[in-house]
Each structure stands twice: as structure tokens, then as C-alpha cells.
Structure 1
Amino acid sequence: MNDFLILIEKPVALIASLLILIGQLTYLLDVWKKKIKPSILSWYGWALLMMTLLLAQLISIGWDWSLMSIITCTMGCIGIGTVALIKKNFSIYSNDWWFISLGIVCIILYLISNNPWLTTIYAALADLVIGLPTIIKAYKDPLNEKSNAWLISLFSWSLTLIISFNHEFIYAIFPIYVWLYCIIIFYLIYLRRTNYKYNH
């Protein structure tokens, strides 16, 4: 089984990264067309947190193909935030500054502790806090969340999760978190949509 995972690792990682790119391009185009108004600090905050996670794993363990999805996500978050800035199509709320602060805290904690495990855990927790507004939005107003992008993201992170388990567990922590996050969004958008229509 391990030999099989090693054999498919590179192509699966590339496919997962491509799917993430497609999903984020879908979201980015919606921002460009002003169909949605993203929180610009949240997207830059996501990028900062993922860069922290990537840096921690690269320094402690080195390069691995399972990191391709994180790299793609980081670039996509920067792209979405930048497009929102260029189009002047973004929102900033006071709580967004707390999200950025959590990203900075993750970096500081990494520099102080020099412990990649703690950095990875802090990054996942901070990312969850950043993502809570999206979960709340998907719960209250599922029809206005971009379901196609989330479905693509779920499939992509499922692939990433498979190849992550062929390595040290630290590689799987963040993919596990993102996969669970996507499952929650998937449930709120797809499985609750009918009830939402009847109740509103």
C-alpha cells in the first residue's frame, strides 16, 4: 500500500493543486464580476497563515509533494485579495483585524518555540477562526455561497489527505482540518439548501 501511495504521490499532488487552482479561479472570477464582496483582510490572513505553515514544514522536514496544495492555496488567496483590492470590491470589518493578528501570533509563536508541531496546530486554529464567518454565512444564506468552488476544494483536499498519510503525521494535520471544513460547508450548502428554500 505504501509503495502504491509513493507511486501515485506526485501525479495526485499535481491534480489536487490543479483542482484547488480551478476552484480559486472560480471564486476569483466571481470577485472580478462583483458577484461577491470578500473580506480582503480574511483572504490575506489566510495566505499569511498558510505561508507560516509551509515555512514551518519546509524548515523542519523539507520539501514534500503534499505541500503543493498549500502552495497553490496561498497563491490563490493572495490573488483573490489582490483582485478585490484592484476592483475596489471588498469589505473590511473590525473583527478582520483580529484575524490578521492571529496570523502574526502564529509566526511569533513559531519563532519563539521553534516547534513546527505547535506552529501547525496554531495555524489550523487561526485558520478556523478566519473561516467562521464563512461557515455562519453558509448556514444563514447558503444560496449566496459559491458552491462550485467549495465542491472542487473538497475533492482536491480529499486527494491531498490521501497522500499526506503516507508521511509523518505533521503533514496530515492541516489537510485533515481543511477537509473537515469543506465537509461542513458542503453540508450547509448542498444538504440544507432544500430546507432553506422552504423556510424562507
Structure 2
Amino acid sequence: MLPAIDQPIREALSAAAIALTCLAFLPYLRGILRGRVRPHLFSWFIWGLTTCVVFIAQIAAEGGVGAWPIGVSGLFTLLIAGLAWIRRGDVSIVGADWAFLLAALSSLPLWYATSDPLWAVAVLTGVDLLGFGPTIRKAYRQPRSESIAFFVLMAARNGLVVLALERHSVATVLFPAAIGLACLAVIAILWVRRAIEAQTLHSAEYHEAMNRDRRQERSPR
């Protein structure tokens, strides 16, 4: 059970979460506008769709001001999808992309049929978590290709969202809690793999220095 939080504090937490959302997304948007980043159109459209539907479901479940950062995140995500289209980003589409889109769209009739936003949130949370698969694999193989700062900001943002929610239920808490934990998992993988990589590099440099010293000792003076 979360402690009772006064409404002004909830509003402040929500505002802080929105600020963190902006801090997380603005560098990515700047990279797109400068041509350094080519986002995958279909992926960002799906993420935007799922996030916006989760926002609507949280509002329906009386999440209140705590849901607004999710809505802002959804708008940023759709903006990135729009820029991907305008800037001719990565428009390649594979079978998994269509599967994710169909899963996201299935949440709406499921919500309508059950009259319970929880089912929509559960489906969309699953879709977003599956979307972390390639990122986690990439973080393990190429730990310096992802930004730890981005995932730290998003983990903190989702923590603030949970605290700012006016009503705590599975329907309102599931999405931000699950995504926050997924971000923490990525952070842990990046940190551990970078540490191992640095240790390996240090060991290689050490052995190279030792071999160089031995060669110098054997060389005629």
C-alpha cells in the first residue's frame, strides 16, 4: 500500500515526471532533426499508439494527474513517428512489426467487450515489454551503443508516475511499473557489460605492457 499523498504533491510529482519525459526525448528529437538518428517509423508508431491508449485507459481508471506524463510521452512518440515519415527514416517492415500492431489494436475491442480498461493495459504492457527484447539484446552485445542516461530518466519518470496517480489499481499502476522495471533491467545490463568490457580492455592493456617490458629486457643494450 502506497502512502497517502496530498493532491498538490501529486501535481508536483506529475509535473516533475513530465519534465523528465521532455529531458529524455528532446535529445533524440534533436538527433533526428540534425540527421544523426533515423528512427524506425513503424516501431515508433506502434509505441505511440500503445502509450496513448494506455493514457486513455489510465484516465478511465481514475489515474488522474498521474496519467498525464504517459499522455505526454505518447505525443512525443507519435511526433517521432511523424518525423520518421517526413525525414524518410527507417520504413522497413517485418512480420513482427505487424504482429505488434495487431496486438496493440486488439486491446481496443477487448476493452470494449469487457468494459474493463485493465485488459487493454495488460495487452499493451505486454506489447511494450516485448519491444524491449531487441534493446536488451543490443545492450548486452554493444553496451556502449545505448544511453544509460535515457533509461535512468525514464525509470525515474515512471516511478514518479506511480506516486502521482490519484487512484492506485492494477489498471493504473501496471504499465508505468512494468516499463520502469524494464528500464532498470537495461540499466543493469549496460552497467555490468560496460564494467566487464572495461576490465577486459584494462587486462589486455596490462598484458600488452608486460609483453612490451619483456621484449625491452631481452633486447641488446
Same fold, judged at TM 0.5 (above): yes
Q: 2:196 & 2:37 partners in 1: Cα distance?
A: 23
Note the C-alpha offset of 1:165.
Answer: 8.0
Matched, 1:84 2:84: yes
Note the C-alpha offset of 1:97.
Answer: 2.0
User: TM-score, normalising length from structure 1?
Assistant: 0.87
Q: 1:180 & 1:26 partners in 2: Cα distance?
A: 23
| Letter aligned with residue 108 of structure 1 | P
Unmatched 5+ stretches in structure 1: none
Q: How does 1:147-166 map to 2 (within 5 A)?
A: 147-164=148-165
After superposing the two structures, state which structure 1 stretch, 90-99 or 77-86, moved more: 90-99
Note the C-alpha offset of 1:2.
Answer: 4.4
Matched, 1:179 2:180: yes
Q: 1:96 & 1:162 partners in 2: Cα distance?
A: 33
Structure 1 residues 30-64: Cα deviation after superposition (integer angstroms, max 9, x where no partner)? 233333332221111011112222222333x3460
Note the C-alpha offset of 1:176.
Answer: 0.7
Residue aligning to 1:65: 65
Q: How does 1:105-124 map to 2 (within 5 A)?
A: 105-124=106-125
Structure 1 residues 67-113: Cα deviation after superposition (integer angstroms, max 9, x where no partner)? 01110110110111112222212252402222212211222322222
Q: 1:140 & 1:83 partners in 2: Cα distance?
A: 28
Unmatched 5+ stretches in structure 2: 202-221
Residue aligning to 2:103: 102
| Letter aligned with residue 148 of structure 2 | S
Matched, 1:53 2:58: no
Q: 1:99 & 1:199 partners in 2: Cα distance?
A: 38
* Cα distance change on mapping 1:177 and 1:165 into 2, 3 Å: farther
Q: 1:83 & 1:11 partners in 2: Cα distance?
A: 31
| Letter aligned with residue 66 of structure 2 | S
| Letter aligned with residue 74 of structure 1 | G
Q: Is the 8 A contact 2:125 2:175 kept in 1?
A: yes
After superposing the two structures, state which structure 1 stretch, 144-153 or 170-179, moved more: 144-153
Give 3-state SS (helix, strand or coil) of 1:144's partner: coil
Q: Is the 8 A contact 1:135 1:185 kept in 2?
A: yes
Give 3-state SS (helix, strand or coil) of 2:35's partner: coil
Q: Is the 8 A contact 1:40 1:81 kept in 2?
A: yes
Q: 1:162 & 1:137 partners in 2: Cα distance?
A: 31
| Letter aligned with residue 130 of structure 1 | G
Note the C-alpha offset of 1:191.
Answer: 3.1
Structure 1 residues 149-168: Cα deviation after superposition (integer angstroms, max 9, x where no partner)? 22211221121122338633
* Cα distance change on mapping 1:34 and 1:151 into 2, 3 Å: farther
User: TM-score, normalising length from structure 2?
Assistant: 0.80
| Letter aligned with residue 76 of structure 1 | F
